[in-house]
Amino acid sequence: METKVELQRFYPTELEVANIYQTDTEIRIKMSARSKSCTCPKCGTISEHPHGTYERKVQDLPILGKSTWLLVNTYEYQCDNPDCDVTTFAGTINGFLNYYSRMTDRCADFICTLALETSCEGCYRICKTMNLKTSGDSVVRLLTKQYKLQEENKCSSVIGVDDFAFKKRHTYGTIIVDGATHKPVAILDGRDGSALKEWLARNKHVRTVTRDRASAYASAIQEILPDAMQIADRFHLHQNLLEAIKNTVNSIVPVDIKIPKDYDKSGQETGFQGTNEGKKNPMLCG
C-alpha cells in the first residue's frame, strides 16, 4: 500500500519539481521548465532563442486547503521573426501556464466556472475559505479575459440590434441577437455605434439588420454595410406610435379640466353627496 503521493504526476512533463517548502498555511513548489523553445504569442513563430531565465511565481489550485504557489524557473525568449514587434516573451506550458499569467490555467478555469455558477463576489468568498487567493475584482478581470479569448460566435445574415442598461441612466451596452436562432451573439460596450461598427466590420456577411429608430445604429450600419437592409422593428414602431399618441393627447387636452358638480332634477346644486340616484345632468356633461 502506498503512503505517499508523487507530486510530479500532477504537473506536465515539461516542468520538473525541484523542491517543496511548506508552512501551516501554504505550500511552495520550486520547479524548472525543461523546454528549450516556445511559440511567440503574436506571430506564432517558434523561438529557440532564450534571452535569459527568471523565476515566475504563479498560484495553483490549493492542496488540501493550503495555498499553493509554483516558483517556476523558466526562460524568457526573443522572437526570431524580423517582422514581429514582440521583443521578449515568457516561456509557457501549453494548457497549463499562459503568457504572463499569475495563476495556472486550471486554477483560472476553476475560478471562472465557480463565478459563472455563483457570482463574482460569491466566488471570491468560496475561494477565500479554500485559501485560494483572489478578489472580486480579479474574478471580473479573469472572466473578461476568458471572454475575449473565446472565438467570436458565428451568426446568420439577419441580426437584431438594440441597447440595454448595465446601470440605468449611467452605463449602457448594445446587444446583437441572431435573427435565425433568436439567441444573443454579442454584447458590446456603449450605444453610440462605435463598438457596433467594429463588430460589423468583422461580420460583413450580415445582410439584414432590425434596429430601433436611434440614429447612432442607423449611421453605423450605413457606414460599414451600405448594402444591408435596415428594418425598424415592430416593438420600436409600436413604442414610437404610443408615444406620439400620448404627446398628441397631452397637447390637445388642457392641463386643468373642470369637473361639473352634480345637480338634482330641479337644477339645484347638491355637490358630490351621491343624491339624485347618481344621474348626471346631460346638459352639463354632454
Per CB under 5 A, does 230 bind Zn ion?
no
C-alpha torsion sign, points 116, 121, 126, 132: positive
Per CB under 5 A, does 42 bind Zn ion?
yes
Per CB under 5 A, does 51 bind Zn ion?
no
Binding mask 242-271 for Zn ion (x = CB under 5 A): ------------------------------
Q: Long-range pairs for 87-96 at CB < 8 Å and ≥24 separation?
A: 88/51, 89/38, 89/40, 89/41, 89/47, 90/56, 91/33, 91/35, 91/38, 92/38, 92/39, 92/41, 93/12, 93/14, 93/15, 93/33, 93/35, 95/12, 96/11, 96/12, 96/14, 96/15
CA distances from 249 to 243, 252, 253 (A): 10, 5, 6
167, three cell numbers: 446601470
Nearer to Zn ion among residue 76 and residue 192 (C-beta):
76
Per CB under 5 A, does 156 bind Zn ion?
no
Per CB under 5 A, does 40 bind Zn ion?
yes
252, three cell numbers: 390637445
Q: Which of 84, 126, 143, 158 binds Zn ion (CB under 5 A)?
A: 84
Per CB under 5 A, does 86 bind Zn ion?
yes
Per CB under 5 A, does 43 bind Zn ion?
yes
Piece of 84-92, 104-112, 125-133, 141-149 that binds Zn ion (CB under 5 A): 84-92
Nearer to Zn ion among residue 68 and residue 74 (C-beta):
74
Piece of 74-82, 203-211, 218-226, 243-251 that binds Zn ion (CB under 5 A): 74-82
Nearer to Zn ion among residue 82 and residue 278 (C-beta):
82
Q: Provide CB contacts within 8 A for 4, sequence distance 6+.
A: none
Residues binding Zn ion (CB under 5 A): 40, 42-43, 79, 81, 84, 86
